[in-house]
Structure 1
Amino acid sequence: MELDDITITKAIVDDFSKTFIDYTEVDVALVGGGPANMIAATRLAQEGYKVALFEKKLALGGGMWGGGMMFPRIVVQDEARKILEEFDINHYEYDNEKGYYIANSIESVSRLINKTVTSGVQVFNLVNFEDVMIREDDRVTGIVINWTAVSIANLHVDPLTIRAKVVIDGTGHEAVVCNTVQRKIPNAKFEGVVGERPMWADAGEKSLKETTREVYPGLIVTGMAANAVAGAPRMGPVFGGMLLSGEMAAKIAMSKLD
């Protein structure tokens, strides 16, 4: 069989266009493809919700790829070990008294991505978040997106919109979605983004239990973005809190959707 270049082009454009149109209205739109949002998206999709995840870079994974200072290893505490087991991530106990588990960061990200995609989450990579949609009831009702390349080139190209019942900000240290709400709606009932404090793994990990929450109607924050919004410490290359934060974000989102 002879391969036809135009047929290949049509197949790619046709399939992507149909998918994109279908996902202009979703139950949950997640901004950022780090570990917390991958866990949240997977849990939501497993429960049958229509979920789209938007990542500005080529690949999902956030800061997990690099492990600690480019040593491709991460630490996960005992509390989150069940997630490593569920996602078939190989790990071993490093300190049986403190409950530290070591995992390969590259394998961890690969397994998370695989589970996210196969669970039914629709992933849109190379897509940049630009703005939120808010209507008369002062509730986040969606996001505004554009191609990452447009942002990098600083081109004046108008964006498109995604309607969502719930939006989850998992954009890491920058807390991009929350910062946008703070900047554009100064009189909103929003606590604002405090900014993360210096690294303190123990305090930062424990803080995520409280900082993962709905910060504005229709907007949930998770992972490092949650600590940045609340002014809690950063955690470094320990990722158990991130994974658990993603689970918490999914539960909060489900409570808003049911």
Structure 2
Amino acid sequence: MPALEESLHAVRARIDAAARAAGRDPATVALLAVSKTWPADDVRALTGLGQVDFGENRAQELIGKAAELADLPVRWHFIGQLQRNKAAAVARLGAVVHSVDRTSLAQALGRAGEAAERPVDVLLQVDLGGLEGELGARGGADPAEVPALADAVAELPGLRLRGLMAVAPRGEEPGPAFARLAALAERVRADHPKAGELSAGMSGDLEEAVAAGATIVRVGTALFGRRPLTSPPDTRVTPVTRASGAPG
């Protein structure tokens, strides 16, 4: 518990310092605690320290934690790739979806929002580029297609367009990438004034994101520590030898 409290204080201090350095009110930057892979008890501990917003990147994990923590005033955010067949379940939780990157997903969420009689708050995920191939790809819509996607989302009664989200590209300084995102966000806001949220910045680059105008920073490692392995560290693998006929 003391470790989480210390980490939360340190992250909030970084956000405050970054905002003041950019001439901004620290209150205009929200902290989204990325709790993916961490137990519900850690979320419970942080809510006791005043943290409200938590992000998950897998629908099943989000659904499970939301059920376990239903007694708490948690505001859930979905920050991963969302399959259309999970849209209804995420919508029923009232989660803010940060990763809308195509019309088909928007339509599925829109139908879910209408069925739940509660519009789903969404952000459009933007691909900021980076190195060619898998190492540079962070997901999202092509920036050139974002204005049209924003228009399409705004027409769906089951959705509320809240802004843009992006991850800094690998192999590039985050500052210029976030500046491109901010310019695109300004263009979208010109047509959709209520789409004022800019979700950008993580543990290693939140200062650059705040300088570019981020209103939400998504922090996991700096709060919780390094994530646990997805499989046990002592998993046994039977060695393959030349005698078995394997190529060498």
TM-score, length-scaled by structure 1: 0.26
Higher strand share: 1
TM-score, length-scaled by structure 2: 0.27
The structure having more radius of gyration, on CA atoms, is 2
Highest RCO, 1 vs 2 (Cα 8 Å, sep ≥ 6):
1
